[in-house]
Chains A and B, each alone.
Chain A
Amino acid sequence: MTFELREHTPVWLAVAAPVAAVAVSLLLCSVLILWTGQPVLNAYRLLVGGAFGSGFGIAETLTRATPLILTGLAAAVAFRARFWNIGAEGQLYCGALAATWLGTGMIDLPPLLLIPLLFLGGAVAGGTALLLPALLKLRLKVDEVVTTLLLNFVILLLVSFLLEGPWKDPMSLGWPQAVPIVDEGVLPVLLAKSRLHLGLLVGLAAALLLWAVMRWSIWGYEIRAVGHNPRAAAFFGIPVDLTMLRVALVSGGLAGMAGVGEVAGLKGYLTLDLSPGFGYAGIAVAMLAALHPLGVVLSAVFLAGIYVGADSMSRAVNIPTYIADVLVASSVLAVLVSLMLVRFRVRFR
């Protein structure tokens, strides 16, 4: 069995492949559902119904998709340049820290100024958090996969320290949580009687902007060139190191903004369980979207739907919610294979 590079890829194949991959992973996971003793089709019906079957479900799904869009974009832009930022989780918390620092009464501003400032602060914090691994990679050739991964743990412990120590809300009855964001900093709700907040629009705007930048700007071209072949890019006079640094700042910044949205939009205050792994799920989002910024929006909504749907499904019938993680992970692996089959033709001989 050998693989040949396709000279041109039919459009239908590029679209059908991820869909087929998701179908395969649904099929694989139905084995697990059979194990629980529940009828498979009913379980999936409950899952889809919980996520998209009602106004409430859709609002919850979009709320859950909001941070995933941003962390998905963070992974997509970094992976495009082959900069392996696996630290979106930590950068998200850095953004949340910045929002808490700026948004809990330190400055007195009207909402129109304070909310953009929070997002800016979060982006700067997230970008700064990724700057260290990026510089270590460029200057000292330290593998960024491990440094970004390990920094996640360090940052989470830092948050834990702040929440139990200096930043602890004295009114929180002993719970480790920070002082709430002031009213001027709380993101407006988009839909009455839902938790859907302004963060979604920020995420959509970021996706559009990133798509335009990647497609039409010189920066985008440079990022793609560095990702394809850094040596060739350097040969053509593209500043490879500078491009990597830019990518790191943008990637970390996007993840930081996700944290701002969760603190100022959803929870209202910083806690240690602010993110149930949104940073890691962002990698799955980016992979499902084949690193395409607009695809990230779709796959974030899809993934959020799986999580929200699995929650409501496990409340209705006795299936552990971890089925959602299995579904997501197997979809990622299946999509990886399917994308490879889009690029290559399989020859048996």
Chain B
Amino acid sequence: MDLIEVFLTAGFWAAMVRIACPLILGTLGELICERAGVLNLGIEGIMTVGAMAGWMWVYQGGELWGGVAFAAVIGAACGLMHAGFTVYLGLSQHVAGIGLTMFASALSFFTFRMLLPSSTTPPKIQAFQPVDLGPLSDLPFLGEAFLRHTPMTYAAFIAVPVVIYVLFRTPLGLAVRMAGENPMAVEAQGIDVLAVRCGAVMAGSALMAVGGAYLTMSAFDAFYFGMVNGRGWICIALVIFASWRPGKALLGALLFAGLDALQVRAQQFAGGLVPYQFFLMLPYVLSIAAMVVMARRARYPKALLVPFRRGERH
């Protein structure tokens, strides 16, 4: 098989869409937090807890969409925790975020083990199934590549315009972006900066958790320890790559997912020449490379990492 031929297979494009979804959701979530001025390094843990919570909801007999909602609620709760530490108490966003990642992952693993004490092979759930769009799904190539996905996949893609609309076309979005650029100006408008930041972190964290839930409820059908596997950190790199713009974040996630899907396929015919570990390294190396390329032009939200204390001059 030739490398060019890979692009002509519908399976490649379908895989790209699948791989992109958790990244899109996680990146959007992180983007919302950072736009409001809060770095959320809890993302890796929040994605883990989302993956566990959503899956567990369904495993215990709940509805699939109920599981998604449950993951979002748990994610928002984690966001509230992070906001409590960083927004209200003004603690170091780096340290609190890493603490949150440790806490959320540990709690997910503990809960999983409590509810399923001894299972060597992870039990499975009936995950989201591809929706049949009738004749559209039967289209040659296009159908197989883009129109035979699960509802959650489409929801992830719909999330992008929704976030763009809310962030850039509504007063709420303006307040969120201003809280990350110039919180004093928000305060001057009589808007509660702390509440805006807290809300943004909660909403962003909910999206991250849903991104995690995508892994266990749509991409796979079981929960494994360490299944998030650095995707959260990659999302943080993608936010920088996207210069804090949701549209570019979608593009970045798709590009990244495409390279990841390509990597898996390249293993099949270059596996003999290059050890598979080097292919697995690619996503991480690419993320670093993307950051190196974009870092110079990166225009951080001005108040990112700066805690806001009412009545204090900056």
A320 at the binding interface (Cβ < 8 Å):
yes
Query: In the complex where A318-B117, A337-B85 touch, is A164 in contact with B102 (Cβ < 8 A)?
Result: no
Measured in the bound complex, the distance between the Cα atoms of B230 and A340 in whole Å is: 30
Measured in the bound complex, the distance between the Cα atoms of B88 and A340 in whole Å is: 12
Q: Is A332 in contact with B110, judged by CB distance below 8 angstroms?
A: no
B264 at the binding interface (Cβ < 8 Å):
no
Q: Which residue of B lies closest to A152 (CB)?
A: B230
The secondary structure that dominates the A interface is: helix
| CB of B56 to closest CB in A, whole Å | 14
Q: Is B91 in contact with A336, judged by CB distance below 8 angstroms?
A: yes
| CB of B53 to closest CB in A, whole Å | 16
What A residues does B298 contact at CB under 8 A?
A: 141
List A141-161 residues whose CB lies under 8 Å from chain B. 141-143, 145-147, 149-154, 157-158, 160-161
A54 at the binding interface (Cβ < 8 Å):
no
Q: Is B240 in contact with A326, judged by CB distance below 8 angstroms?
A: no
A202 at the binding interface (Cβ < 8 Å):
no
| CB of B41 to closest CB in A, whole Å | 7
Interface residues on A, range: 35 or more
B278 at the binding interface (Cβ < 8 Å):
yes
Among A136, A287, A322, A332, contact of B109 (Cβ-Cβ < 8 Å): A322
Interface residues on B, range: 35 or more
A316 at the binding interface (Cβ < 8 Å):
no
What B residues does A143 contact at CB under 8 A?
A: 240, 291, 295
Which of A143, A158, A320, A329 has most B Cβ within 10 Å? Answer: A329
List A73-91 residues whose CB lies under 8 Å from chain B. 79, 84, 86
Q: Is B103 in contact with A140, judged by CB distance below 8 angstroms?
A: no
Q: Is B107 in contact with A326, judged by CB distance below 8 angstroms?
A: yes
What B residues does A79 contact at CB under 8 A?
A: 95
What A residues does B287 contact at CB under 8 A?
A: 146, 150
Query: In the complex where A161-B278, A165-B275, A333-B85 touch, is A151 in contact with B91 (Cβ < 8 A)?
Result: no
What B residues does A337 contact at CB under 8 A?
A: 85, 89, 91
| CB of A18 to closest CB in B, whole Å | 14
List B193-249 residues whose CB lies under 8 Å from chain A. 229-230, 233-234, 236-237, 240
What A residues does B96 contact at CB under 8 A?
A: 333, 336
Measured in the bound complex, the distance between the Cα atoms of B45 and A149 in whole Å is: 14
List B83-109 residues whose CB lies under 8 Å from chain A. 85, 89-92, 94-96, 98-100, 102-103, 105-107, 109
| CB of A42 to closest CB in B, whole Å | 18
List B271-314 residues whose CB lies under 8 Å from chain A. 275, 277-278, 280-281, 284-285, 287-288, 291-292, 295-296, 298, 309-311
What A residues does B295 contact at CB under 8 A?
A: 136, 140-143
What A residues does B281 contact at CB under 8 A?
A: 153-154, 157-158
Q: What is the number of contacts between chain A and chain B, taking CB atoms within 8 Å?
A: 128
Which of B85, B110, B296 has most A Cβ within 10 Å? Answer: B110
B8 at the binding interface (Cβ < 8 Å):
no
Q: Is B102 in contact with A328, judged by CB distance below 8 angstroms?
A: yes
Among A146, A161, A284, contact of B237 (Cβ-Cβ < 8 Å): A146
Among A2, A152, A157, A333, contact of B280 (Cβ-Cβ < 8 Å): A157
A263 at the binding interface (Cβ < 8 Å):
no
| CB of B302 to closest CB in A, whole Å | 15
The interface bits of chain A over 3-41 (1 if a CB of B lies within 8 angstroms of the residue's CB, else 0) are 100000000000000000000000000001001100000
What A residues does B100 contact at CB under 8 A?
A: 333
B114 at the binding interface (Cβ < 8 Å):
yes
B113 at the binding interface (Cβ < 8 Å):
yes
A330 at the binding interface (Cβ < 8 Å):
yes
What A residues does B85 contact at CB under 8 A?
A: 333, 336-337
| CB of A81 to closest CB in B, whole Å | 13
Which of B285, B288, B298 has most A Cβ within 10 Å? Answer: B288
| CB of B33 to closest CB in A, whole Å | 14
What A residues does B110 contact at CB under 8 A?
A: 32, 320, 322-323, 325-326
Q: Which residue of A lies closest to B298 (CB)?
A: A141
Measured in the bound complex, the distance between the Cα atoms of B89 and A328 in whole Å is: 21
Measured in the bound complex, the distance between the Cα atoms of B287 and A79 in whole Å is: 24
Which of B98, B237, B292, B296 has most A Cβ within 10 Å? Answer: B98
Q: Is B277 in contact with A153, judged by CB distance below 8 angstroms?
A: no
A-B contact pairs, 20 of them (CB 8 A): A2-B311, A3-B90, A84-B94, A136-B292, A142-B291, A142-B292, A146-B291, A149-B230, A150-B233, A150-B288, A153-B230, A157-B277, A320-B110, A322-B113, A325-B109, A325-B110, A333-B99, A336-B95, A336-B99, A337-B89
Interface residues of A (CB under 8 A from B): 2-3, 32, 35-36, 79, 84, 86, 136, 140-143, 145-147, 149-154, 157-158, 160-161, 164-165, 280, 283-284, 287, 318, 320, 322-323, 325-326, 328-330, 332-333, 336-337, 340
Interface residues of B (CB under 8 A from A): 41, 85, 89-92, 94-96, 98-100, 102-103, 105-107, 109-110, 113-114, 117, 229-230, 233-234, 236-237, 240, 275, 277-278, 280-281, 284-285, 287-288, 291-292, 295-296, 298, 309-311
- Which are the 9 A-B pairs with shortest beta-carbon distances? A325-B106, A329-B103, A329-B102, A320-B113, A161-B277, A322-B110, A142-B295, A157-B277, A322-B109
Q: A320-B109, A323-B110, A337-B85 are in contact. List 18 more A-B contacts (CB 8 A).
A: A3-B90, A136-B295, A141-B296, A146-B288, A147-B288, A147-B291, A153-B284, A157-B278, A158-B277, A283-B95, A284-B102, A322-B109, A322-B113, A325-B102, A325-B110, A332-B102, A332-B103, A340-B91
